[in-house]
Amino acid sequence: MDANVSKRPVTPIRSGSLEVRLAETPDERDAAQALRYRVFYEEMNARPSAEMAARQRDFDGFDEVAEHLLVLDQERGDGPESVIGTYRLILREAATKVGRFYTEDEYDISSLIAYDGEILELGRSCIDSGYRSRQTMSLLWKGLGAYVWHHDVELMFGCASLPGTDPQALAIPLAYLYHNHLAPPAIRPRAVPDRFVDMNLAPASEVKNRHGFSSLPPEITTLPPLIKGYLRVGGFVGDGAVVDYQFNTTDVCVIVKTSLLSAQYYKHFVDLGPTPRAPGSEPAAG
């Protein structure tokens, strides 16, 4: 991003009774972990450790170095009980404190780490079941956009999940992603060898790429909203899926190059005034 364009600090963004901002206290981070537990372990049947089950919290060592983006509903009060959405954000400097990114458990991301520019790992995104609306998702993404803008992030990446642990049952969506959204070689992560699942599970003719998703097979139109959101802003996927038995999911690695966001979507995504440069003017690495 252009260093001559002044940046606003990451301040709360509001929509009705909802606001998005970074967690400011240990109690708010704890509330995010409690929300993650309800969504991942109680709703999606992930498998908690004994300590997680006892505390009813989803947590790991990365939480200590991460920043936690929150969506809060002020009508639920001004304490931790107001947290209804979250995203875990880990910048390059934060990852060095633990020696790696979370994604490295599943993918070789050496090409991303070597990228000349700020990178941001996204993870643990979830929204309370009573708030899964366009308003909440849009607010969460605008908060993410403000963070990306503030820190001059050039690449975002992270593991995104499809429900279930049977890749064959997910053959069509995985093949669709492989044939239509594979990342350029210069920024293409690859699943680690002992967990690599080939995504080329159906011929390209069965998963033709068309504008949008409405005219595609049901298996593709029902891709998780988060993955569809990444694709709509020009996101790519890495090579190979990974089965995550703890979370009861099949994961893909998603990469978003911020310079390739369309001008229209950039304004919506960031919501912070003028675009710092003409997005889309930089070709994808190849």
The model's pLDDT over 156-199, given as tens digits with 9 standing for 90+, comes to 999 999 999 999 999 999 999 999 999 999 999 999 999 999 99
Is 23 inside any structural domain? no
Is 280 inside any structural domain? no
Q: How many beta carbons lie within 10 A of that of residue 108, not counting itself? A: 20
Instruction: Provide the pLDDT confidence category of residue 232 given band limits of 50, 70 and 90.
Output: confident
Q: Can you give the residue range of the structural domain that contains 92? A: 86-270
Highest mean pLDDT among 13-17, 75-79, 205-209, 210-214: 13-17
Is 76 inside any structural domain? no
Q: What angle do CA 216, 217, 222 make, to 5 degrees?
A: 95
Give residues with Cβ within 8 angstroms of 47, minimum separation 6.
41, 245, 246, 247, 248
pLDDT digits over 88-104, tens only?
Answer: 999 999 999 999 999 99
Domain count, the chain: 1
Residues of the chain with pLDDT > 90, as a percent, come to 69
Instruction: Provide the pLDDT confidence category of residue 270 given band limits of 50, 70 and 90.
Output: low
Handedness of CA 246, 189, 154, 177 (dihedral sign): negative
Q: What is the pLDDT of residue 275?
A: 34
Is 81 inside any structural domain? no
Cα–Cα distance for residue pair 247/214, rounded to 1 Å: 29
Handedness of CA 212, 247, 20, 119 (dihedral sign): negative
Mean per-residue pLDDT over the chain, rounded: 86
Is 75 inside any structural domain? no
Cα–Cα distance for residue pair 56/51, rounded to 1 Å: 8
pLDDT digits over 109-148, tens only?
Answer: 999 999 999 999 999 999 999 999 888 988 998 899 889 9
Q: How many beta carbons lie within 10 A of that of residue 24, not counting itself? A: 10
